[in-house]
Amino acid sequence: MADQNPTSIDTADVLAVDASVIRTTSAAPFGVTPQGFYAKPFARLLAEKLALGRALFGTDLDLTSGSVVRKLFEVAALEDARTWTALGAIYDNMFVVSAEGQALSSLGAELGLPRPYLEATGKITLKLTGTLPAGVAQITIPRGARLLTPGGHHAATDESATITAASPQVDIAVVAFYPGPSHNLDPAVTAADNSHPQKIDRWNPYDTKLADLRAAEEAANKELISITHNEKLTGGELQWPDARYRSMLLRAPHSIWTVDAIQIAVSLVPGVRQALIRDAWGGLDINQSIFGNFNFIERVFGSERDLGNPYYFTVLVSPTDSAIWDGPDGLEASVLTAIEDLRPLGIFPQVQQAEQIGICVNADLVVRGIPMPFGSKASVNASAPAQALKARLNERLRRYIDSLSFGEPVRVSEVIWAMMSESGITDVQNVMLLRYPPAMENIDFTQAQTNGPAGPGCGLNIDLAINQVADFVDTATVLTII
């Protein structure tokens, strides 16, 4: 027997109400669409419930803003809107391009690339012990100078520092070389023999960037700089942010014998700034004896491959400032180990270190809106506000220059844009990019040569070769407030 309840409503009536709401509210599509998932908005949900209420209880139902029934519908619509939002989050978390947090970590784990950890950071104190030897006015500790602990932990300076007789002590930022919580180095940790295995207290003897310090200590016949580590390094338990991790996952290949697979593996080795995987570099082999002595139309220029010899591909690696290339624990050996199981059988890698081209910037700055002391130009530039401003500008320049890929030129326009993006900088003038070592075309052999940087001229870009990469040098950068 058919239901005689006049207030009953069937599926067809609900669909009719839904269609009516669409016509009257111009609602957009919802749910899973070709463009993605769209949640129903609160206004649409409330309109549907009001329409269903009128269909069930009649058009004379009181649905004004003060009625109890409307308040119930509003509460129900709000809960439905939260449900739709949760469904949208669940849908987005199914894909690498839109997942966030733990969902993105789970997708990366399924691809075999768990979310990497960050490097722990902290502070140490460097202090001049005794007096500098004759002829040595200062000792500069470069960014990336490697440090060690008695327990074999590796760290590096995260900024450059200059120690003089007038300024014999400086606090300097350090960063752990290896990522992860195991390098949250705590100087208070005590071993059974009362030693402190996690306390940073020495320089890495294989670091070539400390040649000036070793030369000064050899001249003085004693150690000149003491290292004091009192505060624990922190942050190693943190992992890559979503944007950086997502970018890596989107580049991740689905096969191990691919260029992308090797490039991802190399880029995750601690100490690698960026990597480029290349087959033969290409071009005419002008070193062959037959070059220039035959007709290109009649014969092939190069000989066929000797099947008895192995085939090689090139892995061009740009190391970070703190990386040490040679040695059993050096970066070259670490890269070879990382790709050993990824390379195709019978094809061998040739790991090459990219040529690091030091880039420094000379520029005049016009500053407005930042309190500066009165006085001469020298006193203004030496003041604490000016030094803080220059430190922020150096960090902006470092982010731009160190983000350039192999062979990408350093452009004056982008350098100016990077500095103009800093609050308080109203103009940047007389910008000159300098490089070290200088390019051959910029060397004047009629004059005595110096070891300083050289550049193409004011306002000109610096071009690099395919095996070269720019590396920002803050110690040679001169920014002057005018």
Locate the domains of the chain by residue range: 11-92, 121-228, 253-292+309-353, 356-481
CA distance 14 to 16: 5
Quote the pLDDT of residue 44.
80
Quote the pLDDT of residue 19.
56
CA distance 316 to 277: 6
Cβ contact 223:69 at 8 Å? no
Cβ contact 121:236 at 8 Å? no
Q: Which fold has domain 253-292+309-353?
A: GMP Synthetase; Chain A, domain 3 (3.30.300)
CA distance 100 to 131: 55
Quote the pLDDT of residue 91.
87
Average pLDDT, 10 consecutive residues per value, the chain (482 residues): 46 54 59 79 83 81 84 89 89 89 92 92 93 88 93 93 90 95 94 92 91 89 92 95 92 77 90 86 52 56 57 88 89 92 81 92 91 87 91 93 92 94 92 78 50 71 91 89 88
CA distance 109 to 140: 43
Cβ contact 344:257 at 8 Å? yes
CA distance 263 to 411: 27
Strands 169-176 and 154-157: antiparallel
CA distance 404 to 318: 11
What's 199's DSSP letter? Answer: -
User: At 77, is the secondary structure helix, strand, or coil?
Assistant: helix
Question: How many other CB atoms are there within 10 angstroms of residue 191's CB atom?
Answer: 11
Quote the pLDDT of residue 18.
56
CA distance 51 to 244: 47
